[in-house]
């Protein structure tokens, strides 16, 4: 039986890297999107001896020429595409009042428009294979949290696009799933905190006074999350299930904290917001 072909974005580190290696070890042919040549070389070295094949490809999801080149390479080399996993994503931890609009646009460029650009380009190959689209979202795509509003907004948008895309493609034999992940120790979280630090250092005293308590508590909670991160194999295993389930689910949830968020979503909105604020020590 021919190996399944998957395009995975954001494979330089964290969830993407571990998923790429796991799938390659399981016999998949993985086209792993990376932004830096060094990341691709490291990934290829770690994949030596795998049962499948791993091909690092230069892919910044915000650059159309990269996307076109990768899809052309897949069609030329493999002749088919069974799945796309839109994993590339970035995070920012900044209060909305002082979040630079360029940073907000960047969040949407990667987390929303990048995922859609890759999906649009891949659909002809996916249609021929009756393949799958899997979008990696977050528990922050289910409940909006203070200090991370820009990131939450991008994931809420990705959720809406995922649902609409699923309904549009179902009659074409293409399944579309979303995976809501909890906290994992990835570079995206650290980079997001760095963005927040840079912005916050430049705040005037008025804004520092307005948001200081909320920022301190939000960062404490994030620190607690990262001390109790979910096992990486949990999200990797969830992605594999979404790729292999005979009847793919609309939604998968990876992580104990993400499952808790699903329960909190069932509460009345006012109570839900009080719980969030109470956790921040502000209510």
Task: Find the catalytic residue in 31, 151, 211, 252.
Answer: 151
151: annotated active-site residue: yes
Cα–Cα separations (whole angstroms), residue 269 to 139, 201, 272: 16, 33, 5
Q: How many CA atoms lie within 13 A of 223 on its CB side?
A: 7
The answer to whether the beta carbons of residues 239 and 185 sit under 8 Å apart is: no
Buried b vs exposed e over 182-193: b needs ≥16 C-beta within 10 Å? bbbebebbeebb
Summarize the chain as % helix, strand, coil (round to 5).
Answer: 60, 15, 30
Strands 53-58 and 175-181: unpaired
Q: CA-CA distance, 279 to 217, in Å (whole number)?
A: 8
Q: CA-CA distance, 283 to 270, in Å (whole number)?
A: 12
Query: Which run of H or E residues covers position 181?
Result: strand 175-181
> Cα 156–157–158 angle (5° rounding)?
90
Altogether, the residues listed in the chain come to a count of: 283
Q: Active-site residues: which are they? A: 151
């Amino acid at each position: 039986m021919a190996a399944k072909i998957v395009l995975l974005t954001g494979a330089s580190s964290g969830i993407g890297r571990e998923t790429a290696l796991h799938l390659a070890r399981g016999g998949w042919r993985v086209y792993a999107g990376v932004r830096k040549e060094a990341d691709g070389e490291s990934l290829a070295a770690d994949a030596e001896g795998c049962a499948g094949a791993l091909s690092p490809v230069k892919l910044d999801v915000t650059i159309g020429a990269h996307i076109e080149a990768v899809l052309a390479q897949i069609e030329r080399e493999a002749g088919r595409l069974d799945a796309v996993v839109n994993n590339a994503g970035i995070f920012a931890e900044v209060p909305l009042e002082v979040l630079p609009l360029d940073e907000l646009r960047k969040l949407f460029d990667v987390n929303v428009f990048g995922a859609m650009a890759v999906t649009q380009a891949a659909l002809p190959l996916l249609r021929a294979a009756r393949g799958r689209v899997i979008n990696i979202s977050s528990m922050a795509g289910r409940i909006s949290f203070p200090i991370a509003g820009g990131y939450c907004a991008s994931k809420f948008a990705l959720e809406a696009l995922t649902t609409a895309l699923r309904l549009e493609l179902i009659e074409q034999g293409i399944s579309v799933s979303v995976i809501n992940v909890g906290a994992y120790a990835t570079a995206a979280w650290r980079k997001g905190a760095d963005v927040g630090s840079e912005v916050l250092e430049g705040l005037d005293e008025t804004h520092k006074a307005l948001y200081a308590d909320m920022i301190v508590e939000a960062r404490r909670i994030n620190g607690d999350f990262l001390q109790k991160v979910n096992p990486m194999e949990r999200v990797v295993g969830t992605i594999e299930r979404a790729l292999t389930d005979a009847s793919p689910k609309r939604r998968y949830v990876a992580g104990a904290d993400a499952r808790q968020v699903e329960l909190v979503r069932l509460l009345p909105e006012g109570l839900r917001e009080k719980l969030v604020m109470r956790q921040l020590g502000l209510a």
